[in-house]
Amino acid sequence: MIIYSLTFYLFSTVAVFSALMVISAKNPVHSVLFLILSFVNAAGLFVLLGAEFLAMILVVVYVGAVAVLFLFVVMMLDINFVKLREGFLQYLPFGLLLGIVLIIELGILFLTKNFPNTSTFKEDYFSNFSNVENTKLIGSVLYTKYFFLFQVSGIILLVAMIGSITLTLRNKDRSKKQVISEQNTIKASKSIIKKKINLGEGI
C-alpha cells in the first residue's frame, strides 16, 4: 500500500508540475513536450486505478498521434509567445474567476458526497462479470448500453474529418498529379527514340 501511494504521489506531482510548465514555459516546443509528459503521467494514474486499457488508449491516441501533429504545427509555425503573453494581466481576473468557480464546484461536490461511488457503480453495472479484463468490460458496455451515443460520436468525428478535408482540398485541375499505373506500364519503346545522327548535323 505504501508503494501504491508513493507511486500515486510521484505520478500526480509530475503531472501537475508538467501541466504548470505547459503554460509557463517560454519556448512553445518545450510546452508541448511538457504536455506529453503530463499525458504520460495521467496514463500512469489510470494504470494505478486499474484502468489499463484507458491508459494505453490515452498514450496511443493523444501522445502517439495528436501530440505529434501538435508538435509538428508548433515547430513549423513561427509563433511569438512573448507577444502572445502581453495581454496576460488583462485576462488574469477572468481566468482567476473561472478557476475559483471550478474549485467551489468541486468543493461542493466533495462536501455533499452525493456522487456515485466507484465500487457501487461497478456492482450495479457489472454484477454479471467478475474478474473480466476491463477491455472486455468497456466493450460490453460501449457496444450495448451506449451503442447509439458511440455511433453518433463516430459520425460527428467523420463530419469533422470531411469538413477539414474540404477546407484544405485545392482546385483539382491546377494541382499536378502522378498516375502510378501509367508510370509502371511505360515501356522503353515509348520513351526512348533511337536516332542516327550524321556528323556535324545534330538533331
Partner 1 sequence: MLYDYILQLLIIVAQIMAVIAPVLISVAFLVYAERKILALIQLRKGPNVVGPFGLLQSFADALKLITKENILPSGSNKIVFLLAPIVTMVLSLAAWAVIPFAPGWVISDINVGIMYLFAISSLGVYGIIMAGWASNSKYPFLGALRSAAQMVSYEVSIGFVIITVLLCVGSLNLTKIVEAQQTVWFAIPLLPMFIIFFISALAETNRLPFDLPEDESTLVAGFFTEYSSASFVLFFLAEYASMILMSAMTVILFLGGWLPLFDIYPLNIIPGVIWFTVKIMFVLFLFIWVRGTFPRYRYDQLMRLGWKVFLPLSLFWVVITAGFLVTFDIVPN
Residues in contact with partner 1 by CB under 8 A are 3, 27, 29-30, 33, 36, 52-53, 56-57, 59-60, 63-65, 68-69, 71-72, 75-76, 133-135, 178, 180
Taking the least distance from each CB to partner 1, the nearer of 105 and 133 is: 133
**Measured from the CB atom, is 182 or 201 closer to partner 1?**
182
Q: Closest distance between partner 1 and the C-beta of residue 124, in Å?
A: 23
**Minimum distance from residue 200 beta carbon to partner 1 (Å):** 39
Residue 120 or residue 131: which is nearer to partner 1 going by CB?
131
Nearer to partner 1, 69 or 188 (CB): 69
Place of cell 474549485: 103
- Helix count and strand count (H, E) for the chain: 11, 0
Enclosing H/E stretch for 143? none
**Distance from C-alpha of 75 to C-alpha of 86, rounded to nearest angstrom:** 21
Locate cell 536516332: which residue? 195
CB of 199 to partner 1, least distance (A): 38
CA distance 93 to 130: 50
Q: Is 60 within 8 Å of 40 (Cβ atoms)?
A: no
